[in-house]
Structure 1
Amino acid sequence: MKILAVCLGRPETLPGKKYKTGINKLAIQGPVMVDAEGLVGDAILNRKHHGGVDQAVYIQGSLDIDWWSRELGRELHYGMFGENLVIEGLESQALAAGDRFAIGEVLLEITSPRMPCATFAAHMQDPKIVKRYTEAARPGAYARVLNGGMVEAGQSVTYTPYEGERVTMQDMMATYGRKLSETDRARYLSAPVHYKTRDAILAGEI
């Protein structure tokens, strides 16, 4: 398992939108610093919904990108979905909160799936992509940075699955926007999920 691409975004305005976004990321050459807020130099413009310590790095697997390329009938460049890292041979459905990826001195811990939004639909120029993306449950995953450092395409990646209760990206996609059962609330709270998910559960919002 290795890093196929390290991707950064820059501010741009999508057709029909008035605000700027950094969703369209491009693969770059050379090392990039990763700190608690993500990849240094990456454009994160809507801090209310994007970025932050529990979704500092967005990871996509090459198998997910290949699947989507076949599904959409077109080639997708690395970074097209807004991902920062593309990992060879990875499929995101079975990833769980607490799973870890070690890349050199960098240590990342999975927290939550990426949920599609209107900006994503505008970027993909497909009004149906949000529904398709949610139903496909191949979302990639956000990660917090437990230890920072440099990352670069070609580096080896070591995957360590979480040994506790496995709350997968597919689980979280399936329950998004719904009230959780008492069993699922207990499961989610026992895992190192995104702090926003934890706060929403404790507040009785989900």
Structure 2
Amino acid sequence: MREQSGRVLSVNVGAERPIAAKGGTSGIDKRPVDGPVAVRAPGPKGVGGSGLAGDHVSDTANHGGDDQAVHAYAREDLDRWEAELGRSLPGGVFGENLTTAGVDVTGAVLGEVWEVGSAVLQVSCPRIPCVTFAVRMGEERWLSRFTAARVPGAYLRVLRAGEVRAGDPVRVRERPGHGVTIGESFAALTTEPVLLPRLLDVPEFPAEDRAAIARRLARRGARRGAPGVTP
């Protein structure tokens, strides 16, 4: 494939801060930092948190871990949200670790490999908005609006530990041939469940999520096959 590249505008980490959601604290309030930040695989979900040094994850049962080690969001999408919301949205405001420019994050193919600084990352899955994100933004109907926009940002796993900093190029080194993108997988998981079977054949999509989809599809099939139930 022809090499594609963009760059990191800011690297953002969040300390544990109070928030009026869930357990009462969160690291979603991420802010740009100067200098290099170490990146490594944090360990399984429930045990490991963020892949970035100094970045806090409160709800480790649902966030963080190897498949959600790093969150990237495109500056271009933040700019569109700025126009819609009529407010400034600095890097990190969506809880992203990497605010990028010139990278088609929504069009990224699940499993594609990015070289960022001295680290190597792999696109794993889309970000699904949660209540903490809604509280953080304070916008009316935020979860439904964010979902409808279909620009969720991408989670990445760490294939090679290293360091990242603002200004680093983002080089797409490999792209799987299956073609399932962050945008398509987000739609499948939210508003278009008819697309869910596509995710079962993507080995780079998190194994626990593929297992959950398989169970969901099996239940749907069982309901359709029950006596008196019309498909």
Assess same fold via TM > 0.5: yes
1:130-151 deviation digits (Å, cap 9, x = unpaired): 0011110011100000001111
Q: Distance in 2 between matches of 1:138 and 1:119?
A: 18
* Count of residues in Structure 1 that have an aligned counterpart in Structure 2: 204
**Conserved 8 A contact 1:34-1:151:** yes
**Mapping of residues 186-201 of structure 1, within 5 Å:** 186-201=198-213
Q: Name the SS of the counterpart of 1:107 in structure 2.
A: strand
Q: Which amino acid aligns with 1:28?
A: V
Per mean C-alpha deviation after superposition, the further-off stretch among 68-77 and 16-25 is: 16-25
Q: Report the equivalent of 2:186.
A: 173
Q: Percent identity?
A: 35
Is 1:29 equivalent to 2:42 in the alignment? no
Per mean C-alpha deviation after superposition, the further-off stretch among 51-60 and 163-172 is: 163-172
Instruction: Give the TM-score, by structure 2 length.
Output: 0.82
Q: Name the SS of the counterpart of 1:86 in structure 2.
A: strand
In the TM superposition, residue 25 of structure 1 has moved relative to its aligned partner by: 0.2
Q: Where does structure 1 differ by over 3 angstroms across 4 or more consecutive aligned residues?
A: 15-18, 177-181
Gap runs ≥5 in structure 2? 1-5, 43-50, 218-231
Gap runs ≥5 in structure 1? none
Q: Distance in 2 between matches of 1:75 and 1:84?
A: 18
**Mapping of residues 1-206 of structure 1, within 5 Å:** 1-15=6-20, 19-37=24-42, 38-177=51-190, 180-181=193-194, 184-202=196-214, 204-206=215-217
Query: Over alpha carbons, which structure has the higher Rg?
Result: 2
**Conserved 8 A contact 2:27-2:58:** yes
Q: Distance in 2 between matches of 1:76 and 1:187?
A: 32
Q: Distance in 1 between matches of 2:25 and 2:100?
A: 27
CA RMSD, 1 decimal: 2.0
Instruction: Give the TM-score, by structure 1 length.
Output: 0.91
Q: Which amino acid aligns with 2:141?
A: K
Q: Distance in 2 between matches of 1:199 and 1:17?
A: 26
